[in-house]
Amino acid sequence: MRIALLIFLSVFACRAQLPVVQLPQFVLSSVPPSPPSNVDNTIEFWWVSSDMATNITVTNWIDRIRSSTWTNISTATTCPTNSSSGVHFLASNSQRLTNSTAVPINTSGSTDTNSWWIIINMDTVNTSPDWLSQTPTGPGSPTMGHLSGSPYTYDGTTLAQDGNISAGHYVDVCLTSTSGSGHSAPHNVTFYTNGIPSNTNTLTSIATSVQLKCLGGDTVNGFYNGYIVELAVYSNTLSSVTVSNLHRYATNLYKFTP
């Protein structure tokens, strides 16, 4: 018994003399996700609704990159209003906005822009309104919108759609061209909904390489009913990592859960 007690005290004394090892402290980074202007340096246009005051009629929505302006169509009698939730369109012919300059035009002076990214919140899922269109009076080429809740684009010949979104929720949608060269060549385009890629669709001509002249719908496909929060245009094919970073930025800033 005495021997066992001596052994125990000896072991305890040895352990008491061991140096204390400090384990590293791991702290989660509080650095917010990079904004659209930082995730890819080919950004050409970036409209942010919070740049404007709230509860105002939107007649001049100016982008942060080139000061390109969405303004009211000359025949419009009313305009959308801006709120803390975004620019609010009420599915009205008179609430659409237009752009007086060619959109998109990249820094080389061409119109070969490959990626669009948009944050929206739909009031209703009506039939097939456009968010963006080449012309106020028809779908033309290109368009970007949703068909009964499925994001789509149309290049004048082929309709491509994928994914699913519902009303009453913030969602970010990206359309990026993944192959092809020049406006007339076939291009593969990929949709991302909340950072998640859908299937790749082939269009006969790139749906993201000509001018955009109308925001909020057109007289053929219908008028958008809901909020547009941000819109960014890039002259580059965005990688899946870049689109994921855009989604992280959106959910961090606007606090929505996909």
- The reported pLDDT for the residue numbered 20 is 47
- The reported pLDDT for the residue numbered 155 is 63
- The reported pLDDT for the residue numbered 178 is 67
Structure tokens that stand for 211 in this block: 């001018």
Query: Is 239 domain-assigned?
Result: yes
Give the structural domain span for 201. Answer: 40-254
Distance between CA atoms of 141 and 158, rounded to whole angstroms? 10
SS3 label, residue 166: coil
- The reported pLDDT for the residue numbered 153 is 73
Calculate the dihedral angle through the C-alpha atoms of 112, 215, 213, 232, rounding to the nearest 10 degrees.
-30
Query: Is 29 domain-assigned?
Result: no
- The reported pLDDT for the residue numbered 250 is 95
Structure tokens that stand for 30 in this block: 């509080």
Query: Is 14 domain-assigned?
Result: no
Q: How large is the average pLDDT for residues 57-82?
A: 84
Distance between CA atoms of 140 and 117, rounded to whole angstroms? 20
* Closest alpha carbon to 88 in 243, 215, 218, 238: 215
DSSP, res 93: G
Query: Is 10 domain-assigned?
Result: no
Q: Quick check: 205 pLDDT over 70?
A: no
Number of domains in the chain: 1
- The reported pLDDT for the residue numbered 208 is 45
Reported as type and span, the H/E element at residue 131 is: strand 130-135
Distance between CA atoms of 151 and 143, rounded to whole angstroms? 11
In Å, what is the CA distance from 81 to each residue of 57, 122, 167, 228?
4, 15, 19, 11
Query: Is 199 domain-assigned?
Result: yes
The model's pTM: 0.78
181 vs 243: which has the higher pLDDT: 243
User: Could you report the per-residue pLDDT of 167-204, keeping only the tens digit for each?
Assistant: 888 999 988 876 655 555 566 778 888 998 876 676 65
**Mean pLDDT, the chain, whole residue set:** 74
Q: How would you class 79 by CB atoms within 10 Å of its CB: exposed for 0-12, middle for 13-18, buried for 19 or more?
A: buried
Query: Is 19 domain-assigned?
Result: no
Q: How large is the average pLDDT for residues 19-29?
A: 44
Q: Quick check: 150 pLDDT over 80?
A: no
pLDDT band for 107, please (50, 70, 90 cuts).
very low
Tell me, what CATH number does 168's domain have? 2.60.120.200
Query: Is 216 domain-assigned?
Result: yes
Q: Between the ranges 80-84, 101-105, 159-163, 182-186, where is the mean pLDDT highest?
A: 80-84
SS3 label, residue 162: coil
156 vs 151: which has the higher pLDDT: 151
Query: Is 13 domain-assigned?
Result: no
Q: Are 178 and 128 in contact (CB under 8 A)?
A: no
- The reported pLDDT for the residue numbered 63 is 92
DSSP, res 148: T
Structure tokens that stand for 122 in this block: 């739909």
Distance between CA atoms of 119 and 201, rounded to whole angstroms? 22
